Amino acid sequence: MQFRKTYTLAVSLAIALILIVNAPNPGRIAAWAQTSVEIEASIPESLTPCLPRNAERIELLGMIEQGQETFYLLGVFSGSQYGEPLVMRDSSGCLLVRSQYNVEPLSAYIPLEAAQQLSFQVYQRRIQEAGGLQAFQQGLTEYLSQPNSTEISYFSPEDLWAMEQLGVELPDGTYRVLEPDTQPDLKAPLP
């Protein structure tokens, strides 16, 4: 996987003004104003204005064209945080459709068929990264079947569709379905 390096401003105007008023050295201002972000080379330059500024690494997980619009599902790594923002690009520019902090399914923002195709691309990539279907299946089953786990795993309808298409099986009773326009209840017992 190839990455290109880009530098983005990470200091708001208010913070910059405070720094200037307090007269620190110019090198310190420059160091605070620029952060290094690894951006996968396959992400078009035209998406740069819509990319998160607080990221350490950004990957392209999936892409689908819908008429005059192209949707990009990204994987964003920032410290111990991970998110999957959705960015749309058309002839007028780019737009952040879903932030990396949003947990709603893709199908809450785009048609179900497009969401399914993006999820399919994500799981294809995850299976490849795991070393194949068997390794992915084993890791997922172990994770979902942890005894005494207090965490509940949620999968969107498009995730379930994609995994079924790829031959991934989820152990019964180990997850819940996250429908659009609903919030996960992380404390509710599994059925």
Give the pLDDT score at 112. Answer: 94
pLDDT digits (tens, 9 = 90+) for 36-59: 789 999 999 999 999 988 899 999
Is the per-residue pLDDT at 62 higher than 80? Answer: yes
Give the pLDDT score at 184. Answer: 62
**What rounded mean pLDDT belongs to the chain?**
80
Is the per-residue pLDDT at 27 higher than 50? Answer: no
Give the pLDDT score at 12. Answer: 26
Model confidence at 173, pLDDT cuts 50, 70, 90, reads confident
Q: At what angle do helices 26-33 and 13-21 cross, to 10 degrees?
A: 170
pLDDT digits (tens, 9 = 90+) for 111-135: 999 999 999 999 999 999 999 999 9
Is the per-residue pLDDT at 29 higher than 50? Answer: no
CA-to-CA distance for 36 and 63, rounded, in angstroms?
24
Q: Give the residue with greater pLDDT, 14 vs 92.
A: 92
Sorted by where each begins, the domain ranges of the chain are 107-191
The residue-averaged pLDDT of 1-30 equals 33
The residue-averaged pLDDT of 126-153 equals 89
CA-to-CA distance for 124 and 159, rounded, in angstroms?
11
CA-to-CA distance for 119 and 130, rounded, in angstroms?
16
Model confidence at 30, pLDDT cuts 50, 70, 90, reads very low
- The conformation of residue 104, written as its DSSP 8-state character, comes to S
Give the CA distances from residue 147 to residues 143, 160, 171, in Å, rounded to whole numbers and listed in that order: 9, 23, 13
Q: How many CB atoms lie within 10 A of CB 136?
A: 20
Give the pLDDT score at 35. Answer: 57
